[in-house]
Amino acid sequence: MSESVKIEQLGFSYPDGTVALDNVSVEINQSEKVGIVGANGAGKSTLVNHLNGYFLAQKGSIHINGIPLSKKTQEDIRRHVGVVFQNPDDQLFMTRLYDDIVFGPKNLGMSPEETDKAVETVLHDLNLWELRNKPSMHMSQGQKRFAAFATVLVMQPSIIVVDEPTSDLDPRNRRKLIRLMNSLKSTCITVSHDLDFIWDTCGRVLVMSAGKVVADGKTKEILRDKSLLEGNCLELPIRLQP
């Protein structure tokens, strides 16, 4: 199986000298669902911010679907990688939901007919059709979360990066999101402190600490390892706690 993402000896430091990534090497295969966990400051967000070219590698290399990531290929890479931000308000900025979702396809150069069909499909798939003319400011947090997903899914990226997707969801919408994540055929990379959500949606987990990947393996093996988790300022998933 070919890689969707290939990261080799990636290094990155912030202007104040803080080392955020220290020789990180990871390969993620097509259609694989991978969770990234770790304490605050472990390097998770910095790592995924490299995947769509928000940050460029200071050291090492990144290939997305075989394309080397560089300043010249940033725009092309962003056609392959869709990012769902932690805060839906960062993705919803138009006066109505329909315009938020149509924004991406239009910028990709899709024809009006293709765009309308793609937007209508994703709105129906996510049960958002009735909200299409509603501004995001009048939506619930759960509705905003799925609307943010819609803005990404409509562009049919082969890789989807999701940052803390359950932070503002009630139990019902959390279950709904689990079903959505498990239905996706894309490669999915999820950053979350919600280890039960990772358990339910990811087959593989990377544990990060101090800018390094300190563990990489099957979800139900990694997340059962109490010593490993506690050694990296994490706790067992709630379902495994006494």
Number of Cβ within 10 Å of residue 124's Cβ equals 11
Residue 110 predicted with pLDDT over 90: no
Question: What value does the mean pLDDT take over residues 99-109?
Answer: 88
Q: What is the pTM of this model?
A: 0.94
Residue 129 predicted with pLDDT over 90: yes
Which SS3 state, helix, strand or coil, does residue 41 take? coil
Residue 238 burial class via C-beta count within 10 angstroms: exposed 0-12, middle 13-18, buried 19 and up: exposed
Residue 232 predicted with pLDDT over 90: yes
Question: What value does the mean pLDDT take over residues 125-149?
Answer: 93
Number of Cβ within 10 Å of residue 213's Cβ equals 21
Read off the tokens for 99. Answer: 């315009």
Which amino acid does the sequence have at 94?
A: M
Domains of the chain: 3-240 (3.40.50.300)
pLDDT at position 196: 98
Read off the pLDDT of residues 28-42 as tens digits, 9 standing for 90 and up.
999 999 999 999 999
If pLDDT is split at 50, 70 and 90, which confidence band does 3 have? confident
